[in-house]
Amino acid sequence: MHLADQHLLSHARAVLHGRANLRWLIGGACSGKSTIARAISGQTGIPVYDMDEYVFGRYTFDAARHPATTAWFTAENPLGWMLSQPWEAFDALYRATNTEMLDLLADDLSGRPDDPLLIDGGISHPSVLAQVIPPERIICLEAPEAFPAREWETAASRAEMKNAVLALPDGGAMWLRFLDYDRRMTETIRQESREAGIRVFGWDEEAAVAHLAESVARYLAL
């Protein structure tokens, strides 16, 4: 079972903690992170750093330094391999990869000016993130409990992932596991955010994106 590397967290903290203009939006899948990040960027001009874009397309991993992420990304079928893990191993793997992603972010930002930057997502364990940057610079978005499951089932933007899971051997059972793990990850994010002192912004389908973005930006002093 993979473990979070405290040396990597120390490195990330040394680089990121002092970046006074760094802010972060976290939350479960379908919680509105990217929508609100884009809205804040449109209102303020602050650029958005999409963690998923960097993790899945820009970062270069080192097998020795980032073993959890390497194991995931070099598996014969990364999606199937992840979903084959029992929950405890799946959760531990995500905690370890969060640590490795923070190390990669620190390397990417090291030496850059401390200009305003809003980071979108990429974190499933707020307790890890709060060791690296102050909780008051982080916002957790929380959607209604039933919303993510409905989004995964019906939203066109989620169809690619759903189809990929259904294409796995025993795809129907894997899809049910995917939804269960997604729900558990969202619960982890909610619980750890509150325990770490991270402000949680709840919203519902009646909420205006512009208004919520303004509220979040105001809290983060953007």
Report the distance separating Cα 2 and Cα 75, nearest Å. 15
Question: pTM of the prediction?
Answer: 0.94
Give 92-127 pLDDT, tens digit per residue. 999 999 999 999 999 999 999 999 999 999 999 999
159-181 tens-digit pLDDT: 899 999 999 999 999 999 999 99
Write out pLDDT tens, residues 59-78.
Answer: 999 999 999 999 999 999 99
Q: Give me the percent of the chain exceeding a pLDDT of 70.
A: 99
CATH for 6-219, options being 3.40.50.300, 3.40.30.10, 3.30.390.50, 3.40.640.10:
3.40.50.300
Strands lying side by side in the sheet with 199-202: 48-50, 117-120, 22-27, 138-142, 199-202
Q: Where are the beta strands (DSSP E) in 30-152?
A: 48-50, 117-120, 138-142
Angle made by CA atoms 15, 68, 137, in degrees to the nearest 5: 35
Other C-beta atoms closer than 10 Å to the C-beta of 188 total 18
189 SS3 class = helix
| CA distance linking residue 134 with residue 198, whole number of Å | 9
